[in-house]
Amino acid sequence: MSDYTLSRRDPEYVPTAKAMQALEDERRAFVKGEKTEISEYLKKLASKINSECSVEEFLRNTGFGSVVYAVKPGDGSAREQAASCQRVLGGLANITVEYATKRYRSNLVNWGIIPFTAHENIINELDRNDYIYIPEMKTKFINGEKTIIAKVIGENKNKEIELRLNDVTEEERQVILDGSLINFYSNQK
């Protein structure tokens, strides 16, 4: 079912998300020691995103995942399916001006997807093939920071954007850190 996610709205979403998931799979295999060689593509990408540390250090501390950005998502009848399919495809976050429904935002959290909001011009600042890098994201998230400065890296582009995490409760924060609501309940035992 996830292969049809956003297929009418954005036919390139699934192939792009799968390519990002392949990068994350390669990164995890390297971190676990299952793979000792890093592909040239991943080396170049890691160096382009963050040249302040070694590629190996960067890969140990940085995860890759897809992001959906839209002005006001979540007004359709398949909100639960949208969030679950996004997660199955390696989705880590949504960036939006506002969420159409609280239920859609809750579904994102329940699937471990970070519900960012941003200013109304964000849609004009991002392109499909951009990378969004948030240094120390996990620490910032754990500390409850509401404003997150992210770097947008693209073809001939390297700029900062401001993302917000308004109204994320402590429980929601823990659900996201645990990876999903199922994991959250499992960890409560």
Token pair, residue 93, equals 């976050």
Domain that holds residue 91: 2-187
pLDDT band (50, 70, 90) for residue 149: very high
pLDDT band (50, 70, 90) for residue 8: low
pLDDT band (50, 70, 90) for residue 66: very high
Token pair, residue 182, equals 């199922």
DSSP string, 165-176: -TT--HHHHHHH
The residue type found at 80 is E
CA distance 56 to 69: 29
Structurally, the chain folds into a number of domains equal to 1
> Any idea of the CA torsion for 25, 186, 4, 27, to the nearest 10 degrees?
-10
Check residue 71 and give its pLDDT: 87
| Beta carbons of 123 and 134 less than 8 angstroms apart | no
Looking at residues 27-53, what average pLDDT do you find?
A: 92
| pLDDT digits 0-9 by tens, 82-141 | 788 889 899 999 999 999 889 999 999 999 999 999 999 988 899 988 999 999 999 999
Q: Provide the 8-state DSSP code for 2.
A: G
Looking at residues 28-56, what average pLDDT do you find?
A: 92
Check residue 5 and give its pLDDT: 52
Half-sphere exposure of 142 (CA within 13 A, CB side): 6
Domain at 134, CATH number: 3.20.19
CA distance 160 to 67: 16
Please compute Rg for the chain using Cα positions: 16
> Looking at the predicted structure, is the pLDDT value of residue 4 above 60?
no
pLDDT band (50, 70, 90) for residue 164: very high
